[in-house]
Amino acid sequence: MSADMQVFLLPDLGEGLTEAELVNWLVAVGDEIRVDQPIAEVETAKSMVEVPSPYAGIVAELHGEAGQTLDVGKPLISVAPVGASVPAEPKAAALEEEVTEAPAASIAAETYRTEEKAGSGNVLIGYGTSGGGEARRTRPRKALGSSVAVPSAVAVAPDFAELALSRTRIPGKLSAVISPLVRKMARDHGVSLDALPGSGESGLVLRRDVEAAIGGAVRETAPAEVPAPAAAAADVEPSAGVRDARTGLPVASRTPVRGVRKAVAANMTRSRSEIPEATVWVDVDATALLEMRAELKKKDAHGTPGLLAFIARFVTAGLKKFPELNTRIVTTEDTAGGEMQEIVAFDGINLGFAAQTDRGLVVPSVRNAHLMSARELDAEIRRLTAVARDGKASPTELASGTFTLNNYGVFGVDGSAAIINYPEVAMLGVGRIIDKPWVVDGQLAVRKVTELTLAFDHRVCDGETAAGFLRYVADAIENPGTVLADL
């Protein structure tokens, strides 16, 4: 690889994400690109976003194919200076081969930097490069006191190589482990790294070694000298002829849990394990709200807010009266060095709402919702829903909520034992609106009735506060004209 070649690594995706699926290349080998030009579309556990290039020049190599899952810190694209000649076709694993041929110390150092410090200066997806800072150098630096660059293939002294590799070892263990992801995977599955044979350079323990030990996904073992590129995984992998060990039934398919589904699963698991939640619910007569909206539609058919926007307006007003439900619990260190929990309150409301997309359930949030009218809320909810369904929502739009409103009535159900959207402390669910018998002024009548369900974190408040908030929203739905006039 030329000394002037610049290699762009898949950047830190934020929110603790460590991998992304390459959906589509937006450039080809030989194309001339500019700084901040989108070069690829990738799907993370949050959304599908475009990756901008921090370099200008000629595309020399694309490291990956559509459908392949790439790890953060691994090569994404190689860029040569303008005017440089590049091969007509990309070499599938050119960079991987070169890295493999490098000394063990170089591999250890580079892997540690990219996996332990991923994102310290890389481009954040969707935001371009930093204003005035230069992109991080990836070519060899010049030796001190010399004008000659040190080639990447120059052998490193054996003692330094051993020292670098020894720093990757777990004390008292025989195997070398660099990646924190590998260590976490082994810990989570109860795999002892003691004497676990590593298939990487100098016995380095790789992810595939731990997966093999825990009986995970079956992968073909590639020679240690040339790591096999990740296969373009299909959403559903056929498993003909395989029987499940527990049930004895044939396995029809195996579907990898990844992307949005993987993020949802992790978030819901954490919510259930950490939050002592309680639930309160109430049936509400929504007839007056529907009648009011019908009257507004006669005057302005296209500018009338939807029902969810009206309820969102009532929710923001209710959270102002019951701010305990618009908080977050964090764990900090006390003066004695121990752990303590704090309830963090916010001066404002970012109202999240659940949106079903082709990639799964996501929760975009309306920022500063407490400052918006029902009409403004309606416009922002519609915009965010469209962005989320297109997979273009930014990490900020998907991860900044302080309270979630979930309209599961669109699925034809009345109620739900909702799981709180961690790290928030409460979620309000709205069921379908249907005709039900209802007593009005002592007389039985048919009314439009819905069920409101509030799941809340019992650590931040007691049932009285939760019931007070729920009753406030219910009263607002039953008497919308009076409440809206006071807002």
| Active-site amino acid positions | 458
DSSP per-residue codes, 147-206: SSBPPTTSPPPHHHHHHHHHTTBPTT-SSB---HHHHHHHHHTT---TTPPP-SGGGB--
Are the beta carbons of 422 and 267 closer than 8 angstroms? Answer: yes
∠53-56-62 over CA atoms, to 5°? 55
Which run of H or E residues covers position 280? strand 277-285
Kindly state the tokens that stand for 192. Answer: 């002892």
Are the beta carbons of 455 and 436 closer than 8 angstroms? Answer: no
Nearest CA among 290, 263, 230, 271 for reference residue 448 = 290
Kindly state the tokens that stand for 87. Answer: 């091969």
Phi-psi region of 135 (alpha: psi -120 to 50; beta: other; left: phi over 0): beta
Question: What single-letter amino acid sits at 436?
Answer: K
CA atoms within 13 A of residue 313's CA, in its CB half-sphere:
24
Nearest CA among 217, 14, 206 for reference residue 96 = 206
H helical segments located in 277-398 = 287-299, 307-321, 374-389, 395-398
User: CA 120, 126, 130, 136 torsion: positive or negative?
Assistant: positive
| DSSP state letter for 399 | S
